[in-house]
Amino acid sequence: MRTAAETRIRRPSAVRALIALLATTAATTVVVEVLNWWYAPEQGLALAVRTGWAMLRSLGFLLLIGHVRRGRTVARPFGLILAVTTVFAVGRLVVPRQGVPPLPGLLGFGLLTALCAAVVWLLYRSSALAGHLVRHRARLVIDRSGISWQETPPRRPEVSGWLLTSRVAAFTYSPLMLVPALVAGGEILDGRLAAAPAVLLWFGAGIATSYAVLFCTAFLMRDKRWARTLLVGVTVVVLAVDLPLCWWLLGVDGLVRDGAPLVAAAALTGYGLWRAARAEHGNAPV
């Protein structure tokens, strides 16, 4: 007689390898951040905020493990933007304002970059994972048999994976604006009261961006062409607001540390929209 464990469906080896890789990446993110904090010459508000934001990536990888276990289609774009932003979030903390980065921090950053690259490679190059990540989100279904949670395909037309990637990347705009705005709030505490209106504007722009992106992506998932143009417009406005404020309130150092991740997310959003448009015209695979 077979036991329940023996009759349980065994996941493909690529899925098990990815889950182990994601758990390792989550743990490595925490270790690298602790090392950066330990060796940092200045442990002020700016480093605390940026370190806390980078630490949240470990929770993101744990959430991604859940999506992979359930075979969700959103795992691919979520994993891509999580890996890219993690590299930027950690990389901007390794390099100090002055001097040479500490060797443990550099080694940890190199290891984390390799792990993130391996995650992206598995997500987009493994045929076993492509066949596994096909399930949709469970929804509340009411039918003759009663009320239950069932996996149901979305009512809207199926969209390409690159549109999903653009959607996930665009959702990072708001937090990538709010983190440097919070860092700039420390400038007010240091006596730069003249910067208060700009910081409040920054916070307001970050919150408004979340609603604008939510509106755009809601129609983007319904494959409305105008939503793509509107999302590009929102991206341009976000960059036009965030980058000058980074330079003015946080200096060149802040522009590099906080502006570069937003530029990377914007580039990934635009690239996803471009690839989706090419796929629709038959010039490139989805």
Buried/exposed code over 87-117 (b: 16+ C-beta within 10 A; e: otherwise): bbbbbbbbbbeeeeebeebeebbeebeebbe
Predicted local confidence at residue 196, as pLDDT: 83
Predicted local confidence at residue 285, as pLDDT: 47
Predicted local confidence at residue 5, as pLDDT: 42
Mean pLDDT in order along the chain per 10 residues (286 residues): 46 87 92 78 70 80 90 87 84 68 80 93 87 69 60 59 86 91 76 78 94 92 88 96 91 84 92 86 54
The pTM is what? 0.75
Rounded to an integer, what distance in angstroms lies between the CA atom of residue 253 and that of residue 95?
10
Predicted local confidence at residue 42, as pLDDT: 65
Q: What does 126-165 look like in DSSP terms, one character per residue?
A: -HHHHHHS-BPPEEEEEETTEEEEEE---SSPP--HHHHH
Rounded to an integer, what distance in angstroms lies between the CA atom of residue 116 and that of residue 120?
6
Among candidates 262, 254, 239, 251, which has minimal Cα distance to 95?
Answer: 254
The CATH fold assigned to 11-153 is Four Helix Bundle (Hemerythrin (Met), subunit A) (1.20.120)
Predicted local confidence at residue 52, as pLDDT: 78
Buried/exposed code over 142-180 (b: 16+ C-beta within 10 A; e: otherwise): eeeeeeeeeeeeeeeeebbbbbbbbbbbbbbbbbbbbbb
Which residue is listed with tokens 């989805």?
Answer: 286
Q: Where along the chain do its domains lie?
A: 11-153, 157-281
Predicted local confidence at residue 12, as pLDDT: 78
Q: What does the block give as tokens for 71?
A: 């075979």
Within a 10 A sphere around the Cβ of 222, how many other Cβ atoms?
Answer: 13
Backbone angles phi, psi at 262, to 5 degrees: -70, -40
Q: Inter-axis angle of helices 225-254 and 260-280, to 10 degrees?
A: 160
Predicted local confidence at residue 7, as pLDDT: 38
Q: In Å, how far are 65, 168, 212, 231, 244 from 218, measured between CA atoms?
A: 25, 12, 10, 11, 29
Q: In Å, how far are 19, 76, 127, 164, 276 from 283, measured between CA atoms?
A: 33, 22, 22, 19, 10
